[in-house]
Amino acid sequence: MFAVGLARKQEGLVDFELKKPEIKGPKDVLVRVLQAGIDGTDRDMIQRGQKDIGEGEDFIVLGHEAVGRVEEVGRGVRNVKPGDIVVPTVRRGCGQCASCLDKGSDMCSTGLYKERGIHKLHGYFTEYFVDEEQYLVVVPPGLEEVAVLAEPMSIAEKAMGQVRHIQARLPWGCFHPEHSFDRPGWGACKKALVIGAGPIGFFGAALLRLADMVTYFIEIVPETALKVRRMQEMEAQYIDGRGITPESLVKRMGNPDIVFEASGASELALGLLPVGARNGAFVFTGIPRGQSQVCMDGDLLLRQMVRLNQIIIGSINSNRRHFEAALQNMVEIDKRFDNVLHRVITHSFALKDYRDAFAPIPDSLKVIFQVDEGAQAI
């Protein structure tokens, strides 16, 4: 079968011809990949020549966002059956720490985890993969066409889950008991700022809007850009990030209760720390890979954070529960915002055209591989 990834002895993205994998253990499931998404992590690994290849191997198949169809199951498999449409999770726990042993490998405390398509394990830019049923989440009917978005959505779910968990310190939040952090409308009476309108920013905004939060977003592309329009379709409000200052931002929207960082633009993100509202939360999800020297008033920053009870959270990866929540909320987002998720996938390529798929594509939002050509109708 055809696969795309990085090889120890070759430069850049390459393709391989691999043997179709087989079921080995009783809990194993063989999955036919239907679609696989491309994201910033893939582009980064290619650009930086970061080859996180498993021990004893000469290559890694990339790709960590996928949807597939179950073809065959081991004799001990209970929760999926041939024909089911499933989404695989990314991380495989260390098997040692309390978090990993309790289905929370996104919070692994040893750092000895592996990640499919990223860190030591083969990913999904290929035709088939085998994994245990515990790592496969069944897609609800009707969501098949957009289920490839479940992984990036799960990243936003995890980040927002962290915010809600920590902000449960404010059970009274506002005067409306129905807006407390454990209720669906928890965002009403609050304001959020999303930095970046790429897929993670989009999903962060989608969750904020689903929770009825007044949501603004900063982008440095013109208002006519497709990703800006997608955000506006969820009634998130555009702020041009070019030349923005903390003062001009506050003038425009007031002080945000939640800042959801999804751009990795460290200077911008750190520069906006002093604008947070009282009891506000910042959650960082973008991963900058370069270096930046940021000059800021440290006293002001600490003073603000202490006096205003603020918190900063970093959030990475997601576990099975976040995928399940992601799929549920994706149904709601499409219902509420006129099927907006169906307009997030802007470009689709055959796997063999991987070089075109990875070339810069102007005005794109989510680029995917249509791996199974016969599966257009999923």
Q: Provide, rounded to whole angstroms, the least separation between the CB of residue 118 and ligand BGC.
A: 5
Q: Which is nearer to Zn ion, 132 or 233 (CB)?
A: 132
Residues 104-123 that bind Zn ion (CB under 5 A): 108, 110
Stretch that binds Zn ion, among 100-108, 130-138, 160-168, 175-183 (CB under 5 A): 100-108
Mutual orientation of helices 320-336 and 150-167 as an angle, nearest 10°?
A: 100
Count of residues that bind ligand BGC according to CB under 6 A: 10
Contact 258, 236 (CB under 8 A): no
Mutual orientation of helices 320-336 and 199-210 as an angle, nearest 10°?
A: 70
Q: Which does 100 bind (CB under 5 to 8 A by kind): ligand BGC, Zn ion, none?
A: Zn ion
Residue 91: count of CB within 10 angstroms of its CB: 24
For 152, counting Cβ atoms within 10 Å of its Cβ (0-12 exposed, 13-18 middle, 19+ buried), the class is buried
Residues 147-176 that bind ligand BGC (CB under 6 A): 151, 155
Pick from 94, 220, 301, 312 the residue near Zn ion by CB under 5 A.
94
Q: Which is nearer to ligand BGC, 118 or 357 (CB)?
A: 118
Per-position DSSP letters for 246-290, written without gaps between them: HHHHHHHH---SEEEE-S--HHHHHHTGGGPPTT-EEEE-----S
Pick from 316, 331, 361, 375 the residue near ligand BGC by CB under 6 A.
316
Pick from 29, 35, 39, 366 the residue near ligand BGC by CB under 6 A.
39
Taking alpha carbons only, the member of 243, 185, 226 closest to residue 209 is: 185
Does the footprint of ligand BGC cover residue 261 (CB under 6 A)? no
Q: Which is nearer to ligand BGC, 287 or 359 (CB)?
A: 287
Question: Bridge-partner residues for 237, per DSSP?
Answer: 216
Taking alpha carbons only, the member of 63, 57, 113 closest to residue 88 is: 63
Q: Provide, rounded to whole angstroms, the least separation between the CB of residue 115 and Zn ion.
A: 12
Q: Which does 239 bind (CB under 5 to 8 A by kind): Zn ion, ligand BGC, none?
A: none
Q: Which does 340 bind (CB under 5 to 8 A by kind): Zn ion, ligand BGC, none?
A: none
Pick from 28, 30, 37, 41 the residue near ligand BGC by CB under 6 A.
41
Q: Provide, rounded to whole angstroms, the least separation between the CB of residue 377 and ligand BGC.
A: 27
Taking alpha carbons only, the member of 103, 57, 12, 17 closest to residue 322 is: 103
**Binding mask 88-127 vs ligand BGC (x if CB under 6 A, - otherwise)?**
--x------------------------x--x---------
Taking alpha carbons only, the member of 127, 90, 10 closest to residue 58 is: 10
- N- to C-terminal Cα distance for the chain? 21
Burial 203-229 (b: 16+ CB within 10 A, else e): bbbbbbbbbebbbbbbbeeeeebbbbb
Task: Give contact residues for ligand BGC (rule: CB under 6 A).
Answer: 39, 41, 64, 90, 115, 118, 151, 155, 316-317
Residues that bind Zn ion (CB under 5 A): 94, 97, 100, 108, 110
